[in-house]
C-alpha cells in the first residue's frame, strides 16, 4: 500500500490563508490503514484547524468533512463537486495520487495536500511501516528470494552487497538492514545461492520513473 | 476582577477501575472538586482522540482520561492504547495553541477512592492555574455543539 | 572474445600497457598509494604529493568524491599526476554518474593517457556534504567492472562497437573484514568473473583475519586470476587507532592499541607498525602488492616503503 504521513499542523494551517470554509476529503484505503488520512484523521484535522483558528483570533473556520472510498478513481471523486462548490479551498488527506485526481476534477478549486506521500510498503508491526517496492516496472523478486534489491538496498545494487554492509546493517543507518544480507540469507535458506554467482547485467530503467511518467493500458478492459 | 474562574473539567473514566474508584470515593464521603464531570467508558482504550478534541471545542478547560493501572487493564492493553493516544493529543494540543498541559492520563486501581479524589483535586488546581481555555464561550453562552 | 592472461604476459598480451599492469605481470610486489584531491580547483597539492610519491610507489589512486564530498575530479587529478611523471589510477563510483557519463569519462580518460581504473559502488551521499543530492547508481560496481572490460574489448554497454576504444587495466575493491566470510569470498569471485584485473582491499590491521580470508581466496584459486593488493593505513596516534576500531567492519587487535599507547613517539610508531605490516603482507602467498592509504599524511609513504624494504621501485621491462 502507499504509506504517507501527515504534514505538520502548522504547514497545513498555513495553506488555509484566511479561508472561511474548507472541504477536507479523506480516503478509506491506504491512508486509513496507515492512519494518516482516513475518516478519523479527517475529523481530527478538521477540529484541530478550526480550534487553532479560533485561538489565533481569526474568522471562524467551517470545515466540512468527507471521506470517500478512494480518491484515485474518478467515480468516487465526482460526488465532491457539490460539497466543494461553496468552499474556499479543499484539503485532501489522500496520497499524492488522490490529491491530483481531486484537483483534476475540481478544476477551479485549490486542492492542498495534507500528507507527505512516502513510499510503497507495508506494516511490519503495529505502528511501523517500511518501504518494500521500488516501482521499477521490471520485477526481479524471483531472482532474489522475494526481497527487492531496488527498494531495500540503499544503492539499488543488483550485485550487492557493497563494502559498507556491516553486521547485516546498511552503512546509511543501523536501522536499515542490508538488503543484500537479507537476500543472501534467504537464498541460502532456499538452497539457491547459485543465483548470486551470475553477474546481473545493467538494469533497464526505462520501465521505471526514469523513462518518464508511466501508463498502463488494457485494451481488453476498455469499453 | 470578576468572579474567580471555576474550571470545567471532563474526566473519561473506565468502568473497571476509574469509575469504581469514583464510586468508592463517594461511598467514603471523600470531598473532591465539583468541577469534574465524569464520562463512563467500558475501557480507557475506547477513547477516540476526536472526542478529546470535541470536549475542548465544547468549552472544557481541562480533560483527563483515567484507566486501570498498567498491567491490570481488564481488556489487557486498553490503557496502553489510551496512554499513547493521550500523549499524541497533548502534542496536537500544543500545536493547536491550546496547550497539552490541559490534557492528562491517569492510572489508578478500583480500590483507589482517595486517589480518585486526589486526581480530581490535582487537575482542577492545575487548570485553575492555567486559566480558562481560550475556546471557552463568552459568559452566558452555553457553548458550541460538539462535532 | 578470449581474455589474455595477466600473469607472465608478454608485451603483445598486455591489456592496457600500464606500468602497474606490467610490474604485476612481471611478478613484482607492487606498491600503490592514494591521494585525495582537494575541495577546490587547486592542483598544487596533487602535484606536490605526486612528486613526493612517484619514486616510491608504482601508481597513485585518485579518489572520486570520496565520502560523497565534492572534490576536484579524479580524472582531472590524474592529469595533474601524469604532468609530474607519475602513473595514476582513477577511481569511478556508481553514485554520481549514469552509464552514459561513465562511458564518456572512460573515453576521455583514455584519450588523456590514463590506463588504470578502480571501480567502486561509492559511499552513499548521506555521508557527504550534499546529502540532499539525488543518487544515481545506474550501474553497480560489478556492472561497472564489466563495462570497463567490455570497452577494452571494443564494445559499449549497449553492444555498439567502439573504435579506438579505451583499454584500461580494471580494478575493484574488496573488504576481507565485513560480513559473513563466505559472502565475501563469493563476492570476490564474482568480481573476477566480471573481469577485475586487480583488487585493492580495505586497510589490514588484523593480520590473522586477513590470513584467513586469503586462505579462502586461495582455495577458490582467485589469487591466480586477479592481483590482490592489501590495503594499509598508517595511524598517527592511539586515539586514531581507537577510532578505527569503532568503524563498522574494521578489526583492530588489542595488542596493536597497547603498543601505540605505550610508544614514546606515536607518529614514528605508527609508521613503523605500517611498514611491519607491509613486510608481513609481502610474505603471504597470493598477495601481489600493497596499497598505502595515507590520506593527509602522504609524506610518510616514502619512509614506510623504505622501512618495508621495497626501495628502489622496479622499472618495467622493455616498453610495449
Residue C127 lies in a domain: yes
**What is the predicted pLDDT for the residue at C184?**
79
Taking an 8 Å cut-off on Cβ atoms, the answer to whether C122 and A172 are in contact is no
Quick check: C5 pLDDT over 70? no
Quick check: C118 pLDDT over 70? yes
Quick check: C10 pLDDT over 90? no
Chains contacting chain B through 3 or more C-beta pairs under 8 A: A
Q: What does the H/E/C string look like for chain C?
A: CCCCCCCCCCHHHCCCCCHHHHHHHCCCCEEEEEECCCCCCCCHHHHHHHHHHCCCCCEEEECCCHHHCCCCCHHHHHHHHHHCCCCEEEEEECCCCCHHHHHHHHHHHHHCCCCEEEEECCCCHHHCCCCCCCCCCCCCHHHHHHHHHHHHCCECCCCCECCCCCCCEEEEEECCCCCCHHHHHHHHHHHHHHCCCEEEEEECCCHHHHHHHHHHHHHCCHHHHCEEEEEECCCCCHHHHHHHHHCCCCCCCHHHHHHHHCCCCHHHHHHHHHHHHHHHHHHCCCEEEEEECCCCCHHHHHHHHHHCCCCCCCCCCCCC
Nearest to C29 by CA among C166, C228, C303, C217: C228
Residues C296-307, mean pLDDT to the nearest whole number: 95
Cell representation of residue C70: 565534492
Q: In whole angstroms, what is the distance from residue C76 CA to residue A208 CA? A: 33
Quick check: C3 pLDDT over 50? no
Give the helix/strand (H/E) hosting A191.
Answer: none
Q: Which residues of C touch A196 (CB under 8 A)?
A: 186, 190
Residue C309 lies in a domain: yes
Distance from CA of A154 to the nearest CA of C (A): 8
**What is the predicted pLDDT for the residue at C12?**
59
Q: Which residues of A touch B56 (CB under 8 A)?
A: 51
Q: Which residues of A touch B50 (CB under 8 A)?
A: 40, 43-44, 47
Residue C112 lies in a domain: yes
pLDDT in tens, A124-181: 999 999 999 999 999 999 999 999 999 999 999 999 898 888 889 999 999 999 999 9
Residue C278 lies in a domain: yes
Distance from CA of A61 to the nearest CA of B (A): 13
Residue C11 lies in a domain: no
**What is the predicted pLDDT for the residue at B1?**
44
- A11 touches B: beta carbon within 8 Å: no
Quick check: C201 pLDDT over 50? yes
Residue C83 lies in a domain: yes
Q: In whole angstroms, what is the distance from residue A111 CA to residue A99 CA? A: 7
CA A2 to centroid of chain Cα atoms: 4
Tell me which residue in A9, A51, A54 faces B53 most closely, judged by beta carbons. A51
- B49 touches A: beta carbon within 8 Å: yes
Residues B30-34, mean pLDDT to the nearest whole number: 95
Per-chain mean pLDDT for chain C? 92
In this structure, of B62-66, C175-179, C195-199, the range with the lowest mean pLDDT score is: C175-179
Chains A and C touch (3+ CB pairs under 8 A): yes
**What is the predicted pLDDT for the residue at B3?**
65
Q: Which residues of C touch A184 (CB under 8 A)?
A: 180, 183
With CA atoms as reference, the chain C residue closest to A162 would be C121
Tell me which residue in C99, C146, C183 faces A199 most closely, judged by beta carbons. C146
For residue C6, name the pLDDT band (cuts at 50, 70, 90): very low
Q: Which residues of B touch A44 (CB under 8 A)?
A: 49-50, 53, 92
Cβ contact C230:C255 at 8 Å: no
Taking an 8 Å cut-off on Cβ atoms, the answer to whether B95 and A50 are in contact is no
- B96 touches A: beta carbon within 8 Å: yes
pLDDT in tens, A191-217: 999 999 899 999 999 999 999 999 999
Q: Which residues of A touch B46 (CB under 8 A)?
A: none
CATH of the domain at C255: 3.20.20.220
Give the residue from C137, C138, C196 with the most A CB atoms within 10 Å of its CB, the best one to mutate.
Answer: C137
pLDDT in tens, A95-123: 999 999 999 999 999 999 999 999 999 99
**What is the predicted pLDDT for the residue at C182?**
74
Cβ contact A189:A182 at 8 Å: no
**What is the predicted pLDDT for the residue at C296?**
85
Number of domains in chain C: 1
**What is the predicted pLDDT for the residue at C243?**
86
Nearest to B49 by CA among B93, B98, B107: B93
Q: In whole angstroms, what is the distance from residue A144 CA to residue A196 CA? A: 8
pLDDT in tens, A48-76: 999 999 999 989 999 999 999 999 999 99
Tell me which residue in C143, C186, C249 faces A202 most closely, judged by beta carbons. C143
Cβ contact A176:A154 at 8 Å: yes
Distance from CA of C249 to the nearest CA of A (A): 6
For residue C248, name the pLDDT band (cuts at 50, 70, 90): low
pLDDT higher for A166 or B142?
Answer: A166
Cell representation of residue B90: 497533548
Tell me which residue in B48, B49, B57 faces A51 most closely, judged by beta carbons. B57
- pTM equals 0.90
Quick check: C8 pLDDT over 50? no
Residues C188-217, mean pLDDT to the nearest whole number: 93
Count interface pairs A-C at CB distance under 8 A: 87
Distance from CA of A12 to the nearest CA of B (A): 11
Give the residue from A153, A155, A193 with the most C CB atoms within 10 Å of its CB, the best one to mutate.
Answer: A155
Give the helix/strand (H/E) hosting B64.
Answer: strand B62-67
Q: Which residues of A touch B53 (CB under 8 A)?
A: 44, 47-48, 51
Nearest to B65 by CA among B82, B80, B78, B81: B82
Quick check: C2 pLDDT over 60? no
Tell me which residue in B49, B95, B135 faces A54 most closely, judged by beta carbons. B135
- B57 touches A: beta carbon within 8 Å: yes
**What is the predicted pLDDT for the residue at C4?**
44
Residues C142-171, mean pLDDT to the nearest whole number: 97
For residue C206, name the pLDDT band (cuts at 50, 70, 90): confident
Cell representation of residue B48: 477516540
Phi-psi region of C159 (alpha: psi -120 to 50; beta: other; left: phi over 0): left
Quick check: A22 pLDDT over 90? yes
**What is the predicted pLDDT for the residue at B141?**
58
Residue C124 lies in a domain: yes
**What is the predicted pLDDT for the residue at A115?**
98
With CA atoms as reference, the chain A residue closest to C128 would be A172
- B141 touches A: beta carbon within 8 Å: no
Residue C210 lies in a domain: yes
Q: What is the ipTM of this complex?
A: 0.90
Give the helix/strand (H/E) hosting A187.
Answer: helix A179-189
**What is the predicted pLDDT for the residue at C58?**
98
**What is the predicted pLDDT for the residue at C244?**
83
Nearest to C125 by CA among A148, A151, A164, A135: A164
Tell me the residue range of the domain where C232 lies: 25-313
With CA atoms as reference, the chain A residue closest to B54 would be A47
**What is the predicted pLDDT for the residue at B143?**
52
Per-chain mean pLDDT for chain B? 93
Q: Which residues of A touch C142 (CB under 8 A)?
A: 159, 199-200
Residues B63-75, mean pLDDT to the nearest whole number: 96
Distance from CA of C262 to the nearest CA of A (A): 31
Question: What are the start-end ranges of the E strands in chain A?
Answer: 2-6, 21-27, 62-68, 89-92, 111-113, 115-125, 128-133, 169-170, 173-177
Residues contacting residue C250 through CB under 8 Å, at least 6 positions apart: C177, C202, C203, C205, C244
Interface of B with A in 61-90 (CB under 8 A): none
Angstrom CA distances, A216 to A95, A104, A137, A205, C249, stand at 20, 19, 11, 16, 45
Q: In whole angstroms, what is the distance from residue A22 CA to residue A49 CA? A: 10
Amino acid at each position: 500500500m502507499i504509506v504517507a504521513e501527515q504534514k505538520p499542523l502548522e504547514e497545513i494551517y498555513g495553506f488555509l490563508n484566511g479561508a472561511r470554509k474548507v472541504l477536507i476529503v479523506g480516503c478509506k484505503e491506504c491512508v486509513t490503514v496507515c492512519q494518516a488520512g482516513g475518516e478519523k484523521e479527517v475529523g481530527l484535522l478538521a477540529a484541530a484547524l478550526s480550534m487553532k483558528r479560533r485561538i489565533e483570533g481569526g474568522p471562524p473556520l467551517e470545515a466540512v468533512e468527507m471521506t470517500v472510498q478512494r480518491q484515485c478513481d474518478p467515480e468516487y471523486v465526482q460526488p465532491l463537486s457539490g460539497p466543494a462548490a461553496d468552499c474556499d479551498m479543499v484539503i485532501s488527506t489522500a496520497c499524492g495520487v488522490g490529491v491530483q485526481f481531486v484537483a483534476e476534477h475540481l478544476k477551479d478549486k485549490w486542492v492542498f495536500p495534507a500528507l507527505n506521500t512516502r513510499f510503497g510498503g507495508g506494516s511490519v508491526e503495529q505502528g511501523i511501516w517500511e518501504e518494500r517496492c521500488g516501482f521499477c516496472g521490471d520485477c526481479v523478486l524471483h531472482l532474489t528470494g522475494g526481497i527487492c534489491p531496488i527498494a531495500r538496498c540503499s544503492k539499488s545494487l543488483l550485485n550487492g552487497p557493497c563494502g559498507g554492509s556491516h553486521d547485516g546493517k546498511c552503512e546509511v543507518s543501523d536501522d536499515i538492514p542490508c538488503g543484500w544480507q537479507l537476500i543472501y540469507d534467504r537464498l541460502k535458506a532456499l538452497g539457491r545461492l547459485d543465483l548470486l554467482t551470475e553477474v546481473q547485467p545493467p538494469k533497464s530503467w526505462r520501465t521505471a520513473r526514469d523513462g518518464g511518467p508511466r501508463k498502463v493500458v488494457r485494451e481488453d478492459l476498455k469499453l | 476582577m470578576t468572579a474567580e474562574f471555576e474550571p470545567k473539567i471532563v474526566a473519561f473514566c473506565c468502568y473497571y477501575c476509574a469509575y469504581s474508584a469514583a464510586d468508592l470515593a463517594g461511598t467514603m464521603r471523600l470531598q473532591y472538586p465539583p468541577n469534574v464531570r465524569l464520562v463512563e467508558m467500558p475501557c480507557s482504550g475506547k477513547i477516540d482522540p476526536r472526542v478529546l478534541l470535541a470536549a475542548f471545542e465544547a468549552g472544557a478547560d481541562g480533560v483527563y482520561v483515567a484507566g486501570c493501572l498498567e498491567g491490570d487493564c481488564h481488556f489487557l492493553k486498553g490503557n496502553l492504547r489510551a496512554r499513547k493516544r493521550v500523549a499524541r493529543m497533548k502534542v496536537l494540543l500544543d500545536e493547536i495553541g491550546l496547550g497539552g498541559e490541559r490534557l492528562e492520563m491517569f492510572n489508578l486501581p478500583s480500590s483507589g477512592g482517595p486517589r480518585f479524589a486526589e486526581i480530581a483535586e490535582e487537575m482542577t488546581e492545575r487548570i485553575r492555574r492555567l486559566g480558562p481555555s481560550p475556546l471557552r464561550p463568552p459568559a452566558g453562552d452555553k457553548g458550541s455543539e460538539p462535532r | 572474445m578470449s581474455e589474455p592472461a595477466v600473469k607472465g604476459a608478454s608485451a603483445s598480451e598486455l591489456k592496457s600497457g600500464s606500468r602497474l599492469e606490467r610490474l604485476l605481470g612481471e611478478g613484482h610486489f607492487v606498491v600503490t598509494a592514494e591521494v585525495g584531491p582537494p575541495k577546490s580547483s587547486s592542483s598544487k597539492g596533487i602535484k606536490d604529493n605526486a612528486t613526493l610519491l612517484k619514486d616510491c610507489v608504482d601508481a597513485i589512486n585518485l579518489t572520486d568524491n570520496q565520502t560523497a564530498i565534492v572534490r576536484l575530479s579524479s580524472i582531472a587529478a590524474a592529469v595533474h599526476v601524469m604532468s609530474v611523471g607519475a602513473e595514476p589510477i582513477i577511481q569511478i563510483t556508481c553514485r554520481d554518474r549514469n552509464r552514459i557519463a561513465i562511458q564518456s569519462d572512460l573515453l576521455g580518460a583514455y584519450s588523456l593517457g590514463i590506463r588504470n581504473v578502480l571501480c567502486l559502488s561509492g559511499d552513499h551521499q548521506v555521508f557527504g556534504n550534499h546529502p540532499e543530492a539525488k543518487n544515481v547508481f545506474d550501474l553497480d560496481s560489478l556492472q561497472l567492472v564489466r563495462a570497463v572490460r567490455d570497452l577494452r574489448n571494443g564494445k559499449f554497454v549497449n553492444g555498439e562497437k567502439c573504435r579506438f576504444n579505451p583499454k584500461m587495466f580494471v580494478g575493484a575493491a574488496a573488504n576481507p573484514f565485513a560480513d559473513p566470510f563466505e559472502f565475501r569470498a563469493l563476492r570476490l569471485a564474482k568480481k573476477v568473473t566480471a573481469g577485475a584485473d586487480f583488487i585493492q582491499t580495505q586497510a589490514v590491521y588484523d593480520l590473522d583475519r586477513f590470513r584467513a580470508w586469503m586462505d579462502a581466496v586461495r582455495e577458490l584459486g582467485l589469487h591466480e586470476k586477479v592481483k590482490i593488493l592489501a590495503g594499509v593505513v598508517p595511524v598517527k596516534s592511539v586515539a586514531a587507532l581507537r577510532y578505527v576500531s569503532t568503524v563498522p567492519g574494521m578489526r583492530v587487535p588489542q595488542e596493536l592499541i597497547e603498543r601505540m599507547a605505550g610508544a614514546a613517539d606515536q607518529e614514528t610508531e605508527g609508521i613503523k607498525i605500517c611498514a611491519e605490516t607491509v613486510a608481513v603482507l609481502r610474505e603471504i602467498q597470493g598477495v601481489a602488492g600493497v596499497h598505502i592509504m595515507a590520506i593527509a599524511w602522504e609524506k610518510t609513504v616514502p619512509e614506510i616503503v623504505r622501512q618495508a624494504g621495497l626501495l628502489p621501485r622496479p622499472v618495467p621491462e622493455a616498453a610495449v
